[in-house]
Amino acid sequence: MADKIRVAVAGAAGRMGRAAVRAVAAAPDMTLAAALGRERGVGQDAGTVAGTAPLGVTLTAELADILDAKPDVLIEFSPGAAAAEHARVAIPAGVRPVIGATGIGQQDLDGLAALCGAKRVGAVVAPNFAVGAILMIEFARQAARHFPNVEIIELHHDRKRDAPSGTALRTAAVVAAARGSAPAPAVKEEETITGARGGRAEGIRVHSVRLPGLAAHQEVIFGGPGQTLVIRHDSVSEESFMPGLMLAARKVRSLTGLVYGLEKLLEL
């Protein structure tokens, strides 16, 4: 059997990071090389923190410890600014980042893409690793050519900091590109409560809901004469993101630049 892929996980004490540690531990072609955490779990076995059997990897707070472990891939679920900074350090060392953090600005993305190109090191940045969510966006792209009137509702748990979600913003960009010019409004709208009609992304209304009991959900609602079309995706646990994340961790090793969006790896 070929050597296993050595994977490091940053943000390993968070919900997504713990799920990533479990997925790596369960993958027959991967081994957990290192784990990075900042606020809790430091000094404990990363497997114990993630809820698996001990894996013999101590959760550390130092990025240098991650690089010393010589991973092939860095799965990154730290907050956006930290994720970008970690990637800027990892890429010159030949470590390929797979970033699922939101809140990374275009300037950081452009800088990482340039760094990947210069070093010929692959990287993947994806707003969403759930394969079903990627298919939702693709189906919405197809529908937008026939239903230009559209709004997006995204619903997440009450611990999510950013609104709207990265997936909603990505959906809006894809749908806007597919439909072309936005249709003229039927009436001149008046909001009696500011924000009642949501915000706008790429000219598309986006509504964000944050409540306990939710995980990650999105509806893309299209309207036309006498009919509506609703395309919805629901993630009910972090496990929904793991097949796409593992796919990215495997494919990133063959890349020589930055790829944005899991759909590029699914060849949609």
**Binding site for (S)-2,3,4,5-tetrahydrodipicolinate, residues?**
157, 166-167
Exposed/middle/buried for residue 260 (C-beta within 10 Å: 0-12, 13-18, 19+): middle
In angstroms, the Cα distances linking 176 to 124, 141, 161, 169, 198 are 24, 8, 25, 11, 17
Q: Residue 10: beta bridge partners?
A: 36, 76
Residue pair 17/49 in contact by the 8 Å Cβ criterion: no
Reported as type and span, the H/E element at residue 142 is helix 131-144
Per the annotation, where are the binding residues? 11-16, 39-40, 100-102, 126-129, 157, 166-167
Q: Which of 4, 119, 160, 264 is catalytic?
A: 160
Q: Which of 156, 207, 217, 251 is catalytic?
A: 156
**Residue ranges of the binding site for NADP(+):** 40
Beta strands at 204-210 and 227-235: parallel, antiparallel or unpaired = unpaired
152 in Cβ contact with 221 (< 8 Å)? yes
Our answer to whether residue 233 is catalytic in this structure is: no
Binding residues for NAD(+): 11-16, 39, 100-102, 126-129
Residue 160: active-site member: yes
| Plot region of 137 (φ>0 → left; ψ -120 to 50 → alpha; else → beta) | alpha
Q: What are phi and psi of 251, to 5 degrees?
A: -80, -25
Active-site residue list:
156, 160
